[in-house]
Structure 1
């Protein structure tokens, strides 16, 4: 213990001596000797910090536009979330007819961007392989919105899997159904990302992203392994992140369901989200039945309307108990 105290005493004495020297009149106040310059590279310069990215006026303007659109629609009784009710009855005959209009017709010419379809019926289009869904976000989508949107997609994917009986799950790994939430400021990223996912995508399918009209709230593109094929193996949905909550959820419901094979809209389909009148925001009971019909194993990709009609007509009758 004595040695320890001595060491402490010596240390205190040294500190006191240094302090006395620093305040002594003998210590020079000024000197003509220039200090040595610090060698270059001894202390690296701090990295330049990029200023935080800010949303453009165009993106903020779209956000206001869609917020007003949602408010006006709700005031007019649109964007319903009740799934249909006593005011929207339908029979098995109506259900079968709507299935034909929505599952066998197409809204746009395949591979031609927003060019309207010439009409007529095509073939049954659906997935036979498991669907693995992943979400992606543009750089300026806020973190809380990313969490909210991921949760909405996850819940909806679980519901679609139960409805169809088909394996549809979320994944953090290799995916084949990509849901992209992008803002106006991210539009330069969209076409390269789509080309990365589907290298042989036609240029006309990508051109529309250069100047997407405000009237297009969201869209989906589905692809098969062979050109013009009916067995889907990739799909990409693009949803504007400027939408308010209900419109984003509405886009999730419609585009993911369309990417499963219900590719068309029809003005007489009711109660349904596959109708451009915006009466319903979310998947309805009618739409659930359409998905059950589409994913009946008896309906195979590539079937024509004539081949498929007896199958989906019988299925509609079974689902609704023959309510003609």
Structure 2
């Protein structure tokens, strides 16, 4: 929350003194919340390390024979939402997807029209439908495993990502739904690895973030910089990344 938001949240109403135990509880609760760092707080070295650790690698490496090459869309991304859960989450998914072109200006992304082919499918399911959806819609294999609490599968090659499919669980709480939505959709755009050292990122299964953080916005803007091409390896990008990180940070507000 920025200082302007804090100011708007204050009132002139006088409050009675609070018990010390309650004040300590509030302080502890606030300390447990994930920090909201702005783009200017990250060094170029932190951003480059985060980029390398998420873009060059795969959380589940058996899914690709090119885990250490850049994966990104070079064609427009067209989403289709498949609402298969008891609770209709379509509006929440659409609201998040609508943020992406604004936060990643180089990304051409929107919902697919009814008669338009989608290349990024999002299946929203209840937990009971998770495994059947992964086996039937993602792999077309009745023996396939479904690792994790939600997942995304990406099909890619040297010319870029050709398709992504995410499965998001709806009925295990708001935090898990939001976390799965943000992480799996963003990973479906290319940065497919997790790293426990990335404290300001959803690309870290131990973090408590459930939003598109400033750190992750910079990483996605780095990936979708025109100088970053599908199939590039780490050595090809190394001399460019300091400039790309600087430019990406300026694009994130």
1:163 to 103, 108, 117: 103
Partner of 1:190: 134
State whether structure 2 residue 74 is matched by structure 1 residue 128.
yes
Decide whether the 8 Å contact of 1:92 with 1:320 is kept in 2. no
State whether structure 2 residue 234 is matched by structure 1 residue 305.
yes
What is the alpha-carbon distance in structure 2 between the residues aligned to residue 190 and residue 121 of structure 1? 21
Scaled by the length of structure 1, what TM-score is found?
0.60
What is the alpha-carbon distance in structure 2 between the residues aligned to residue 251 and residue 91 of structure 1? 27
Q: Deviations over 1:229-275 (max 9, x none)?
A: 56111101011222212321111111000000011111111311111
Superposition RMSD in Å:
2.9
Decide whether the 8 Å contact of 2:82 with 2:121 is kept in 1. yes
2:63 partner SS: coil
Scaled by the length of structure 2, what TM-score is found?
0.76
Q: Deviations over 1:63-90 (max 9, x none)?
A: xxxxxxxxxxx9696674x64369x942
The aligned runs of 1:34-73 (5 Å cut-off) are none
Decide whether the 8 Å contact of 1:121 with 1:305 is kept in 2. no
Q: Deviations over 1:31-67 (max 9, x none)?
A: xxxxxxxxxxxxxxxxxxxxxxxxxxxxxxxxxxxxx
What is the alpha-carbon distance in structure 2 between the residues aligned to residue 153 and residue 311 of structure 1? 34
2:91 to 151, 154, 168: 151
Q: Deviations over 1:183-233 (max 9, x none)?
A: 23323343222246xxxxxx59x6113xx5xxx221111012xxx556111
Aligned positions, number? 219
2:121 to 178, 185, 202: 178
1:315 partner SS: helix
Q: Which runs of 5+ in 1 are unaligned?
A: 1-73, 197-202
